[in-house]
Structure 1
Amino acid sequence: MEGLALVLLYLAIPSLLFSAVQQILSWRKKSPSSVPKFPGPKQYPIVGRIHDLPRFSLWLKFQEWAREHGPIYQTRAVDQTFIIISDEKIAEELLVKRGHIYSGRPQIRSLIDHKTGPGYSALMDRNDNWKIQRKWCHAAMAEAYRHHFYGHVEKEMKRYLGLMLLDPARFLDYTREYCGRVMSRLAWDDATQGKTNGDSADCTLHCMSVSGPITNTVSPLWHLPAFMNPWYNFEIKRERDQRAWWRNNFGFAKERMLKGTLPNDTWAYRYFEQLQREGNKTLEQTDDKELFASCMIGFLNLVGVVTISGPLKFFLMAMGLHPEWQKKSQDEIDRVCGDRMPTMQDFADLPTVRACLKETVRWRSGVPLGVPHQAERDDEYRGVEIKKGTIVLACEWTLNRVPEKYPDGDNFRPERWLEPGWPTYQEPLTRYPNFREGHSMHTFGWGRRTCLGQNIVDDEMFVFGAATLWAFNSGPKICPRTGVPVPIDTQATNSHVILEPRPYHLSFKPRSDERAKQILENYHNVLGELKL
């Protein structure tokens, strides 16, 4: 392996030298000392600061630099300039008010053609493919939310609780599968695709992350010939398999639509119905249009897994580590719901549960770096020239720890959403906190690139949080050999663009024999309806 690494590095040297020559020529054109710049860490010739940017937990380095250099600073990795923001007002000025400039997406080296589409709408530049897909997905998501996702969240939750009762050690697997099942049911009426959906989402995230293929950080390696380029060959196969899976589900849904057996509460039905209203009764389309539509629905399906699975796993962690908030939430649930499992109908009456969920996403952000924006043309801000192609990051980890808005920001403090006097408190508590409006909506991104999934996050996380607290007591797992709790590292993650925690251990026990009986009854009641 060492020999192969040396060969690959040797082959990458010409590209690195070319980048170095470009950098030197740019210095000759303009003296750096004469150009106004944002503050930032010292930059070294050619490499900038790429040598001390960690591939894992990069947000901690950005937080360290923000403390030293202020709420907006810049750095460089070889020939790529980055502007890092840790102030909401600055982020709004650039990413919202100037969203017509800062809504591009940077090239992710190990994803193929993602900027043009049609495979990854959230990662495309603002082109026609992106506009059509975003408009369609926004309308589809809004209609599903109007019906609170047709009860599928609650039904899948009953299945989840039953599995947790029978085999609680697999709680992390079940949590991701739960998210995958909800989305696959909404997309194609096939919840059995839930595990495949979750695994596909996780693999995609790996390939688009700094912590993933080394070609995302040492980009010249991507240009090696295919016969000796394992990263390129892996991505070719991954994308081919993913698109084939999406196309297969799309095709099967089309067959059911023509037979009249596809439920009208699926996104596939919505798409085919639109075709039929336009006069296309047979649903026949060109290959390109079918690829476009299958990717649009498939990626919407995928994103709904990765943006919710991680926060739910962190929520379970937070409840296990903070028994006082677990107990407060359970008391509230028992007072409101009694012996029945909570549903979305209980939303207004369970503010403590919502506060614990909201605080989880602040405490352990699912997207701690923020999703990067790229300047689509030259601009100027505070007297500093921002060149086209500059990557702008509103670092969510640091934003969530600004002392003036989030006192004691490193600690889990749900009371900040419940008690007057905290900067984030809002009334009425029957409405706030939530994931649709109010404070900390930067969690979902900025401006024209804001995530479309606030509504499903709000519903799915609320039902999950309330139902698991209704059903189980949880806490650190006790080591059978030593008799002491197994430690949990709350910052150990996969370091993807959208995070999940590294595997950790918790103990789950039903809150009573009667509650266990209720869980099993609910589970059996949905077995006949759900595809398992």
Structure 2
Amino acid sequence: MEGLALILLYLAIPGLLFSALQRFLAGKKKSSSTAKFPGPEQYPVVGRVHDLDRFGMWLKFKEWADKYGPIYQTRMLNQPFIIVSDEKIAEELLVKRGHIYSGRPQIRSLIKHKDGPAYSALMDRHDIWKTQRKWCHAAMAEAYKHHFYGHVEMEMKRYLGLLLLDPARFLDYTREYCGRVMSRLAWDEATQGKANGESADQTLHCMSVSGPITNTMTPLWYLPAFANPWYNFEVKRESEQRAWWLNNLRLAKDRYRRGELPNDTWAYRYFEQIQREGNETLEQAEDQEIFASCMIGFLNLVGVVTISGPLKFFLMAMGLHPEWQKKCQDEIDRVCGDEMPTMANFADLPTVRACLKETVRWRSGVPLGVPHQAERDDEYRGVHIEKGTIILACEWSINRVPEKYPDGDNFRPERYLEPGWPTYQEPLTRYPNFREGHSMHTFGWGRRTCLGQNIVDDEMFVFGAATLWAFNSGPKTCPRTGKVIPIDTTATNAHVILEPSPYQMEFKVRSPERGKKVLENYHSVLGKLKL
């Protein structure tokens, strides 16, 4: 398929040349400035697209940052990019000038995502985006007040039971755990957890440079439908996803009318709101239902992909760093004893929180950063930045700036626990966390900051502490050779939000008594959970 794509790209070169000429002439009219940011040599038409690995682009960007500095420019085909690897510069552009740099670039293989209403995080800033973001922010904040109504702890008891019974499927169960928490909050449909995770993964594939080749070789997207498998796949995928979300909304509406929908769901919150606004019958036009189902559906989906990857990397980190696993377990045993950790233990488990925080720095879930786009022309440090330029604050590079993160390639949780490290903060009953303080850039910048810090904080803490409370873990040993099966910590699915490639680990319950408690907890929630 990729060989065919390359042939088709070369057939499209005349059109690219024309587009490049138009851009060149327009640029000459717009600005007489000749100042430029440093960057790699650009080749005619293709820029530097030929030497960017679609499955590890952040590594090349880090290599270029080391050579050209904390802000440099490059181009892929006729699309200009500015790559930032410095927190201060990212704040100056994406926060202080957020009114200019808060657009979203076109992801070619997602249909009309900039217009809405399907993907709020990928829309341009318009009324649909503003309405959805405001509603989601309020809904998430209210749920956080109640620490997500205990669903995180309940689903964790289920997860630990499954891990005890079938530890080989730990990766599947981890994503399903995230999917179940979000589906329960959205519609009270935790049984859709697995499907939610799969839908999230497929959506990420379609929006990533490692996904359909049309995301990098964009002229291929305009092939006629009979010769365009990428377009046909996306039409089918998106229509099925929208139909699934819409059906969930309508089922939830029926339950709400019968008084059966729990009031701790986002669907309940939405129906209650529109009744307060005067729509007592909840009768709506289809476009209104689509708007609401996409708003809740995407909030549901994004909470899976942003958490499951970091949790899988955390399990990997604990297995590969037994000294930190032991430090966490000693802390947990001292604080929690024979009871599974909950959010009530948050303040007393700083070592667990430091290992979680360091996991997200060490193996960023969004190593490229989520792209911003200039919504109008601007000038920065004497350099003209034209409308449409994509700004990437590269997390992989920012997380390895030696002045802020010494020994950045290695897993060092003590950077959040010991005075003298640049990221240390007191009191340790509060820091580190995923809501505030150092290293919050992982959630994005300015007006496009992710709304999920609070659920990430709760869900990752309970998961990390509870898993370490119940199990010892480590790399798996081959039953035939007796040798340890290596884990490649850099192998990922290469999506815009990463999960590690499948790897193997062993999980052993820490004691018979702890195993008995895990099973007691598992059985205690069976009657409350939809399994």
- TM normalised by structure 1 equals 0.98
Q: Distance in 2 between matches of 1:474 and 1:19?
A: 55
> Aligned letter for 2:218?
S
Q: 1:321 to 1:472 in 2, by over 3 A?
A: same
Encode CA deviations 1:439-487: one digit per residue, 9 max, x unaligned.
Answer: 0010100000000000000000000000000000000000112111100
**1:251 Cα deviation after fit:** 0.4
Q: Which residue of 1 aligns with 2:82?
A: 83
Q: Distance in 1 between matches of 2:443 and 2:31?
A: 39
Tell whether 2:123 aligns with 1:124.
Answer: yes
Q: 1:3 to 1:315 in 2, by over 3 A?
A: closer
SS in 1 for 2:425: coil
Q: Which residue of 1 aligns with 2:416?
A: 417
> Aligned letter for 1:368?
P
> Aligned letter for 1:527?
L
Q: Distance in 2 between matches of 1:124 and 1:96?
A: 18
**1:2 Cα deviation after fit:** 8.5
Q: Which residue of 2 aligns with 1:151?
A: 150
Q: Distance in 2 between matches of 1:35 and 1:159?
A: 61
Q: Which residue of 1 aligns with 2:58?
A: 59
Encode CA deviations 1:174-219: one digit per residue, 9 max, x unaligned.
Answer: 0000000000000000100100100000000000000000000000
Q: 1:274 to 1:28 in 2, by over 3 A?
A: closer
Query: What is the total number of aligned residue pairs between the two structures?
Result: 531
SS in 2 for 1:385: strand
Spell out the pairing of 1:457-472 with structure 2 (5 A cutoff).
457-472=456-471
**1:281 Cα deviation after fit:** 1.4
> Aligned letter for 1:469?
L
Is the Cα contact below 8 Å between 1:168 and 1:507 reproduced in 2? Answer: yes
Tell whether 2:267 aligns with 1:268.
Answer: yes
Unaligned stretches of 5+ residues in structure 2? none
Q: Which residue of 1 aligns with 2:509?
A: 510
Q: Which residue of 1 aligns with 2:18?
A: 18
SS in 2 for 1:353: helix
Tell whether 2:334 aligns with 1:328.
Answer: no
Spell out the pairing of 1:28-43 with structure 2 (5 A cutoff).
35-43=34-42
Q: Distance in 2 between matches of 1:488 and 1:357?
A: 19
SS in 1 for 2:93: helix
Encode CA deviations 1:40-91: one digit per residue, 9 max, x unaligned.
Answer: 1111122111111110110010000000000100001121110000111110
Q: Which residue of 2 aligns with 1:115?
A: 114
Q: Which residue of 1 aligns with 2:364?
A: 365
**1:24 Cα deviation after fit:** 5.9
Q: 1:275 to 1:230 in 2, by over 3 A?
A: same
Q: Distance in 1 between matches of 2:415 and 2:2?
A: 52
Q: Which residue of 1 aligns with 2:526?
A: 527
SS in 1 for 2:384: strand
> Aligned letter for 2:442?
T
Spell out the pairing of 1:73-222 with structure 2 (5 A cutoff).
73-222=72-221
Q: 1:455 to 1:3 in 2, by over 3 A?
A: closer
Is the Cα contact below 8 Å between 1:158 and 1:526 reproduced in 2? Answer: yes
SS in 1 for 2:136: helix
SS in 2 for 1:478: coil
SS in 2 for 1:56: coil
Q: Distance in 2 between matches of 1:299 and 1:177?
A: 17
Spell out the pairing of 1:428-507 with structure 2 (5 A cutoff).
428-507=427-506
Q: 1:346 to 1:28 in 2, by over 3 A?
A: closer
> Aligned letter for 1:54?
D
Is the Cα contact below 8 Å between 2:350 and 2:432 reproduced in 1? Answer: yes
Q: 1:6 to 1:414 in 2, by over 3 A?
A: closer
- TM normalised by structure 2 equals 0.98
Q: 1:22 to 1:48 in 2, by over 3 A?
A: same
**1:28 Cα deviation after fit:** 7.4
Q: Distance in 1 between matches of 2:114 and 2:405?
A: 35
Q: Distance in 2 between matches of 1:313 and 1:108?
A: 27
**1:10 Cα deviation after fit:** 6.2
**1:504 Cα deviation after fit:** 0.3
Q: Which residue of 2 aligns with 1:345?
A: 344
Q: Distance in 2 between matches of 1:201 and 1:31?
A: 42
Q: Distance in 2 between matches of 1:435 and 1:191?
A: 25
Q: Distance in 2 between matches of 1:323 and 1:370?
A: 30
SS in 2 for 1:40: coil
Q: Which residue of 1 aligns with 2:311?
A: 312
Encode CA deviations 1:468-521: one digit per residue, 9 max, x unaligned.
Answer: 000000000001121111000000001110000000000000000111111111
Encode CA deviations 1:390-410: one digit per residue, 9 max, x unaligned.
Answer: 000100011001100100000
SS in 1 for 2:55: coil
Q: Which residue of 1 aligns with 2:401?
A: 402
> Aligned letter for 1:388?
K
Q: 1:315 to 1:2 in 2, by over 3 A?
A: closer
**1:3 Cα deviation after fit:** 8.6
**1:8 Cα deviation after fit:** 3.8
Encode CA deviations 1:272-323: one digit per residue, 9 max, x unaligned.
Answer: 0001111211111111111000000000000000000000000000000000
Provide runs of 4+ in structure 1 moved above 2 Å.
1-32
> Aligned letter for 2:514?
R
SS in 1 for 2:424: coil
> Aligned letter for 2:76?
A
**1:21 Cα deviation after fit:** 3.9
SS in 2 for 1:393: strand
Q: Distance in 2 between matches of 1:6 and 1:356?
A: 44
Q: Which residue of 1 aligns with 2:45?
A: 46
Is the Cα contact below 8 Å between 1:11 and 1:224 reproduced in 2? Answer: no
**1:30 Cα deviation after fit:** 9.1
Is the Cα contact below 8 Å between 2:5 and 2:220 reproduced in 1? Answer: no
Is the Cα contact below 8 Å between 2:16 and 2:78 reproduced in 1? Answer: no
Q: 1:526 to 1:383 in 2, by over 3 A?
A: same
Q: Distance in 1 between matches of 2:20 and 2:267?
A: 49
Is the Cα contact below 8 Å between 2:155 and 2:181 reproduced in 1? Answer: yes
Q: Distance in 1 between matches of 2:158 and 2:407?
A: 37
> Aligned letter for 2:437?
G
Q: Distance in 1 between matches of 2:235 and 2:333?
A: 52
Q: Distance in 2 between matches of 1:24 and 1:443?
A: 35
Q: Distance in 2 between matches of 1:88 and 1:526?
A: 44
More off after superposition, 274-283 vs 330-339: 274-283
Q: What is the percent sequence identity of the aligned residues?
A: 83
**1:22 Cα deviation after fit:** 3.1
Q: Distance in 2 between matches of 1:177 and 1:5?
A: 35
